[in-house]
Amino acid sequence: MNATTLTLPLPLPLPPLLASRAFNQRATLSLSSAALRSHSPASQQHPLTELNDESDFESLVSPDGYISICGFGSLLSETSARSTFPDLLNFRVARLNGFRRVFAHVAPVFFERGIAKPETMEISSLSVEPCEGETLIVTVFEIRKSEIPDFIKREVEFRFLSVLPEILDGKPFDFPAVLCTRYSDEEFLHIRCKGSKEVYFQQYGRWNIDKIWRDDVFPCRVYLRHCVLAAKNLGDTAYDNFLDHTYLADRKTTIREYLATTGSGIMEEEPPEPLKYRYGG
């Protein structure tokens, strides 16, 4: 039997500027507690700029035509990120100072996919909000400028901020990234929906959601499991960071505490068969 030599395609080279980003911002998946405790004054001094429209996003686009995105929940999973952005580049781990994760808003997609549990209020997705003294392990990757409109549409309920993550040795990134943060119902109605209750109904009302950002909700079980597994796949420190720096809507109960008490059993529950790949960590 003759041996067959398989010629595998080489990875496509990064554009010059992104290759530079990858070199300067490369982060290994082996995270140290010492690196996590380190804080860079340079990143803390970066102003938090709100991105209000597509032109604001375009101000962050590199000469090569790419923009950096921060992932903190499902986008901690490269598989999940690529299911949304198939052509993303330079998926890597980073640190972001001054923010915490909170399960405090309702996501229509959980109703659409049949994994919301309104009877127990387990309907919440994840956002981040500024919080002095907190530090998050996040992911960062690049998408094309042409993908910005779809990104805005997909994450329409959030406030978009320009932030400056760090590589894990504390060096700030050379370029800012987009972060989806907590918004408000008032701003969503008046800015995103242009004051139109019909537009709001199309987004949320048809699921009997009359308030998006709230403190009486709990994590969607399938989604929480997915996020925990995604963090675990990044290494022990990312996993511990997710458990200890992600909170319920009360801003007191950590996910580690929740999974050990009221949320016990969530990690043993399998997603519905059609969603196993998307929500498999």
Q: What's the pLDDT at 12?
A: 37
Q: Hey, what domains does the chain have and what are their CATH numbers?
A: 43-264 (3.10.490.10)
Residue recorded with tokens 């408000």: 184
Over the stretch 16-73, which tens digit does the pLDDT of each residue have?
444 444 434 433 333 333 333 334 444 445 678 999 999 999 999 999 999 999 999 9
Residue range 145-150: mean pLDDT, rounded: 95
Residue type (1 letter), 221 = R
Q: What's the pLDDT at 95?
A: 97
Highest mean pLDDT pick, 4-13, 185-194, 223-232: 223-232
When pLDDT is cut at 50, 70 and 90, the band that residue 281 belongs to is confident
Handedness of CA 57, 59, 65, 66 (dihedral sign): negative
When pLDDT is cut at 50, 70 and 90, the band that residue 87 belongs to is very high
To the question of pTM greater than 0.85 for the whole model, the response is: no
Residue type (1 letter), 144 = R
Residue range 219-227: mean pLDDT, rounded: 97
Q: What's the pLDDT at 234?
A: 96
Q: Does residue 227 register a pLDDT over 70?
A: yes
Q: Does residue 260 register a pLDDT over 50?
A: yes
Give the per-residue SS3 of the chain: CCCCCCCCCCCCCCCHHHHHHHHHHCCCCCCCHHHHHCCCHHHHHCCCEECCCHHHHHCCCCCCCEEEEEECCHHHCHHHHHHHCCCCEEEEEEEEEEEEEEEEEECHHHHHCCCCECCCCEEEEEEEEEEEEEEEEEEEEEEEHHHHHHHHHHCCCCEEEEECCECCCCCECCCCEEEEECCCHHHHHHHHCCCCHHHHHHHCHHHCCCCCECCCCEECHHHHHHHHHHHHHCCHHHHHHHHHCEECCCCCCEHHHHHHCCCCCHHHCCCCHHHCCCCCC
Q: Rounded distance, CA 259 to CA 267, Å? A: 8
The burial class, CB within 10 Å (0-12 / 13-18 / 19+), for 9 is exposed
Over the stretch 163-219, which tens digit does the pLDDT of each residue have?
999 998 888 888 899 999 999 999 998 998 898 888 888 888 888 888 999 999 999
214 close to 188: Cβ distance less than 8 angstroms: no
Tell me the average pLDDT of the chain.
85
Q: What's the pLDDT at 54?
A: 93
Q: What's the pLDDT at 46?
A: 66
Q: Compute the C-alpha angle 96/98/102, nearest 5°.
A: 90
The burial class, CB within 10 Å (0-12 / 13-18 / 19+), for 119 is exposed
Residue range 148-172: mean pLDDT, rounded: 92
